């Protein structure tokens, strides 16, 4: 990761860890950004993969305005939007949630890799936070790739993963060690019917294990628990390699961790990291607003070339 912050003139960039993550100071995102300020914000986002801004006063419309500068707005399936803002969703964990019940994102993952073109990135904004806990962790998949041995890099470069919701949810019931699709007490948050759910869980999407970032070209390990097996390999054969990578990517030196405050905003590059929503605030409510922007191209890398038509269009 480039550590040089001297190129920024309109904002201050303070790296928060050696692996990724930087706090940005000097911007008020409730007001329109001029092109120069946005260009520096985007550059910091590409350089540090996740950027944090404190003390922002963001209404849902402000989130849409900022996200739209990064890409076309996209709708997150399965949860209900904020009234009047179909691109902004609220992730809530109520204070009454039973101790030990799961969160939406309390596992290391990349968002929506079951789509052919997963989300390019997203904004998270803290509306209400618990007095302690509820941090979000981030892990740099590019640095994790760099730190593999040449032999392991060569192996990974050749592999294509089968991503399926079944890799995380199994048959959706929560049996077999998989998490249930509907978390206890959260059924009303889902907009998907049982019939659609059945089809969704069977869906399979192929992505290369090693991607090249669509903007920077940096290689990264595109592993997430949705990756159930490798093409032309069984689950049993794939599992030891996937398990190794799962542990490798989230080594502490490849991560950073954000402690939220009310008014904190994070802008996340979904092609550069895994993330994890810590669930360690039993008895307290947490409310986050989320707004995502589309990816521009199917993930590509050494094992799956960049699609010709889309590459030409960019």
Per CB under 5 A, residues contacting Fe ion are 105, 111
Q: Of 111 and 212, which has the nearer Cβ to Fe ion?
A: 111
Q: Is the dihedral of CA 157, 272, 119, 106 positive or negative?
A: positive
Q: Look up residue 98 and give its DSSP letter.
A: P
Q: Of 105 and 220, which has the nearer Cβ to Fe ion?
A: 105
Q: Of 111 and 269, which has the nearer Cβ to Fe ion?
A: 111
Q: Look up residue 313 and give its DSSP letter.
A: H
Closest distance between Fe ion and the C-beta of residue 109, in Å? 6
Closest distance between Fe ion and the C-beta of residue 307, in Å? 25
Contacts of 252 (CB under 8 A, 6+ apart): none
Distance CA 304, CA 244 (A): 22
Closest distance between Fe ion and the C-beta of residue 262, in Å? 21
Q: Of 275 and 304, which has the nearer Cβ to Fe ion?
A: 275
Closest distance between Fe ion and the C-beta of residue 276, in Å? 8
Q: Of 40 and 292, which has the nearer Cβ to Fe ion?
A: 292
Closest distance between Fe ion and the C-beta of residue 141, in Å? 14
Work out the number of other CB atoms within 10 angstroms of the CB of residue 283.
Answer: 10
Closest distance between Fe ion and the C-beta of residue 103, in Å? 10
Question: What region, left, alpha or beta, does residue 63 occupy, with left being phi > 0 and alpha being psi -120 to 50 degrees?
Answer: alpha
CB-closest chain residue to Fe ion? 105
Q: Of 136 and 228, which has the nearer Cβ to Fe ion?
A: 136
3-state helix, strand, coil in the chain (%, to 5): 25, 25, 50
């Amino acid at each position: 990761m480039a550590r040089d912050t001297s190129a920024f003139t309109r904002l201050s960039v303070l790296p928060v860890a050696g692996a990724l993550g930087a706090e940005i100071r000097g911007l008020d995102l409730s007001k329109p950004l001029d092109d120069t300020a946005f260009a520096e914000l985007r550059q910091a986002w590409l350089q540090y993969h996740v950027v944090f801004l404190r003390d922002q006063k963001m209404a849902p419309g402000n989130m849409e305005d900022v996200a739209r500068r990064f890409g076309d707005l996209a709708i997150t399936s399965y949860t209900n939007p904020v009234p009047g803002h179909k691109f902004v969703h609220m992730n809530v964990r109520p204070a009454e949630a039973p101790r030990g019940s799961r969160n939406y994102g309390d596992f290391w993952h990349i968002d929506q890799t079951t789509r052919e073109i997963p989300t390019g990135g997203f904004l998270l904004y803290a509306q209400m936070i618990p007095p302690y806990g509820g941090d979000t962790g981030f892990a740099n998949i590019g640095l994790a790739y760099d730190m593999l041995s040449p032999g392991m890099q060569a192996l990974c470069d050749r592999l294509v993963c089968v991503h399926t919701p079944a890799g995380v949810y199994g048959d959706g019931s929560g049996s077999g060690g998989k998490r249930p699709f509907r978390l206890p007490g959260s059924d009303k948050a889902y907009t998907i019917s049982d019939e659609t759910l059945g089809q969704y869980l069977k869906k399979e999407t192929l992505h290369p294990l090693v991607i090249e970032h669509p903007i920077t070209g940096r290689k990264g390990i595109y592993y997430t628990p949705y990756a159930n097996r490798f093409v032309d390999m069984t689950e049993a054969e794939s599992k030891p390699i996937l398990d190794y990578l799962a542990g490798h990517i989230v080594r502490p030196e490849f991560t950073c961790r954000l402690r939220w405050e009310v008014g904190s905003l994070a802008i996340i590059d979904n092609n550069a990291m895994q993330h994890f929503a810590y669930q360690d605030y039993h008895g307290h409510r947490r409310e986050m607003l989320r707004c995502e922007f589309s990816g521009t191209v199917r993930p590509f890398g050494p094992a799956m070339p960049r699609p010709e038509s889309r590459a030409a269009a960019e």
